[in-house]
Every structure is written in structure tokens, then in C-alpha cells.
Amino acid sequence: MRIGVALLLVPLLLLAAVPVAAAEEAPATVSSLSAVLYEPTTGRVLFEKDADTKRPMASTTKLMTALVAAEALEPDALVTVPEAAVLVEGSAVGLRGGDVLSVRDLLAGLLLSSGNDAANTLALLTSGSLPAFAARMNGKAAELNMSRSVFVTPSGLDEGEHGSTARELALLGAAVLKQPLLSELCATKVATVHINGTAVSLKNHNRLLWLYEDAVGLKTGFTTKSGKCLVSAATRDGVTLVAATLNGGDYWNDHIALYDYGFSQLEAVTLPLSNLPPVTVCGGVAGVAELTAEAPRVVLPKGEVQRVKVTYELPPFVWAPLQAGDAVGTLRYTVDDRTIATVTLTAKAAVPARAAWTFNEKWKRQLGLLMHAILE
């Protein structure tokens, strides 16, 4: 329950004192039929083109395959490739039935070499059959609010209603980035895996890792039906962006143009904690407690930091004893009544209770308990 609020306009001009380069113009043309540029921490879409049309997604599917399999299987576990897994067309790691390798190396084969054999192996190991694994993929899609996406194959080979939208694939890419192992593999240019104890070198199909300095993944795709597909991510100065394109022409340059535009629009900013107010303590050896909090780091449009306001939400007093780290209130940052961050205000140091309370303190405590019961 919010008991008291103090409002303060924070002078953030010092944070914006560094000159900002002129913003890029939004790309005038994007060759891909569908495209999205997405900032995951705020959910902000910076660019879109026919973003909600469902299209074939080819091997960008493997991001979902990796996500579902990584949540179900131990990465260091050694597994055996089922014979049925390798009976698949298209790109492959070169696995054979009976091969032994780790789940981590299977994921590398899936994400770097786009191995359809690795995709089927992970699906069968996770769920026992491809239809059962597809059901898990669709369940995960529902969790990620990918309501227009349908997953039929773990490899991305076209079958039935298999497909997604650029907007929803951006959501999928953002989810994969949250998984440390998958994020690491997607950003790896060349990896060494071991199949039956023999070292095999894999090269990432995602050329954007070589073409764009800030690129950190994620996955390419192509079938005759889908055309060129790409879900990628890039990070610069604390800002991470995800781009997704379907049925592309010059999709490498599409993504480069989208990132150049996106990074010109946004900046990562650490919000200040200046002038944190103390809170009154009743019944303690000290009458007030100093407060502390962890400064939040947020992504904002460039220049917006100067309009940030901070609200302290604090009770009129707290009762001793108070331990260091006890939550006391909330610090809320807003821009135009839109909350951009909240942090918990905690006691910086302990305030032990006094041996005896005064009559007024006892009366205040009883009144406080009564008011709390009424308001609850």
C-alpha cells in the first residue's frame, strides 16, 4: 500500500551532456517482404514492414527447436543419435545413427551449421517423436505470445501450416538471447564439436557476424518456398536490438541498415539515485534510517533522459527494529506518466529497537495497526 509520495523532477542534463550523433533516417527501402526491428527490454518496435503476415520461416525455426530442447536436456549429457533422425533432406551436420556427442554439440550443429539431422535428433531425444516435439514448440510459442505462428517441423522444412511472422520471430530471437548457452552459440563464428570423440569444425552460416561488428547472432534460413529468412541480433553501448526479415532479397544489407538506424535512435542510460530521502523510524535507537537502491539502467530514445521524473513512494514512518537491506519503499522513474523503471528502496544500515517505547510511540503503533487493518 502506498502511504506517502514525494515527487521530484530530476535534473538529468549532465547525463545528456555528451554530444549525440545525428540520427539516421529510417531505411527507405527494405528488400525483404516482411521486416521488424525490435528493442526487447521495452518492447519498442523501431521499424516494421508487413510485420504480421504469416510466411514460411525456414531454418529460423531452429531457434525454437534450440529453446525447447535446451530447456529439457542437460547440455553436458552424452546422447546417441537415433537412426530415424538422420533420414532428412537439406542442410546437415553429417550425423549417422549411433553417433555419440553432447547435447551442447548438437545445439552447435543446429545453430551454426543449420543441421536438419541435429534438429531431428534434439526433437526425438526431447519428446520421442516429431509430432510430440512440435506440440511442445507450439506450447512455447503460446508462452511467448506468438499467436500467429505454427510449428510443424523442428528443422524448418516446409510442411502443412508451418510458418511465422517477422514480429513474432523477433520475440523468439529475444527469448533465445536470454538463454546464456544459446546466446553464446548463436554469436560463435567457428566451433569445434566432438562426434564419437573426433573433433569436427563447424562454421556459422550467419555471415552478418563477419559483416557487422556489433552482430551477436542469431539464425539464417532458406527454402525455395520461404526465400531468404534471417533473425539477427546486435549489441552496441548497452543497447541490444533484434531484427527479423522474411522472404528477403539483400537480407544482409537489410539488417545492417536496420541496425544503423536503430542504434542512432536509442541509448542505454544509468538513472541517478541523487538525494534519496531518509525514512523516519519509530521506537529505534536512531530516529531516521538512510536509504539506498541499485541504480537502474534503461534504454531510451536519445534525448528523452532529460524528461525523466522520479517519484519516491515511502510510508510516513517505519517501526524498529530495521535490518540493513529491509525493503522500505519504491523509487519510480517515469516519462510522460509512462513508467520506465522501478527499484526498491532499502535500509542502508540496521536500526535496533530501543529497550522501551514512549507512550506516543505505543499509541502511534496501535493506530498504525488499526489503519492497516481497515485499509486491508
Summarised one tens digit per residue, pLDDT across range 231-244 is: 999 999 999 999 99
Q: Is the pLDDT of residue 22 over 60?
A: no
Over residues 330-356, the mean pLDDT reads 93
The DSSP 8-state label assigned to residue 34 in this structure reads E
User: Which of 344, 40, 18 has the alpha carbon at shortest distance from 169?
Assistant: 40
pLDDT at res. 274: 79
pLDDT at res. 376: 52
- So where are the chain's domains? 4-15+271-375, 34-266
Q: How far apart are CA 346 and CA 177, in angstroms?
A: 31
From the list 32, 49, 62, 140, the catalytic residue is: 62
pLDDT at res. 363: 67
Q: Is 114 a catalytic residue?
A: yes
Kindly report, residue by residue over 275-331, the tens digit of the pLDDT: 899 999 998 999 999 999 999 999 999 999 999 999 999 999 999 999 999 999 999
Q: Which residues of 262-283 are buried (b: 16+ CB within 10 A; e: fewer)?
A: bbbbbbebebbbeebeebebbb
From the list 32, 34, 49, 59, the catalytic residue is: 59
Top CATH class, 4-15+271-375: mainly beta
pTM exceeds 0.75, yes or no: yes
pLDDT at res. 26: 81
Q: How far apart are CA 242 and CA 170, in angstroms?
A: 6
pLDDT, the chain, mean: 91
From the list 34, 91, 114, 127, the catalytic residue is: 114
pLDDT at res. 108: 98
Counting residues of the chain whose pLDDT is more than 90, the rounded percentage is 85
Q: Is 62 a catalytic residue?
A: yes
pLDDT at res. 28: 76
User: Which of 41, 39, 263, 62 has the alpha carbon at shortest distance from 155?
Assistant: 62
User: Which of 171, 262, 162 has the alpha carbon at shortest distance from 218?
Assistant: 171
pLDDT at res. 78: 98
Q: Is the pLDDT of residue 147 over 70?
A: yes
The phi, psi pair for 260, rounded to 5°, reads -60, -40
The better pLDDT of the pair 354, 265 is held by 265
Name the packing angle between helices 116-127 and 130-143 (round to 10°): 90
Neighbours of 71 (CB within 10 A): 12
- Bridge partners for 202 per DSSP: 191
CATH topology of domain 34-266: Beta-lactamase (3.40.710)
Kindly report, residue by residue over 165-221, the tens digit of the pLDDT: 999 999 999 999 999 999 999 999 999 999 999 999 999 999 999 999 999 999 999
Q: Is 140 a catalytic residue?
A: no
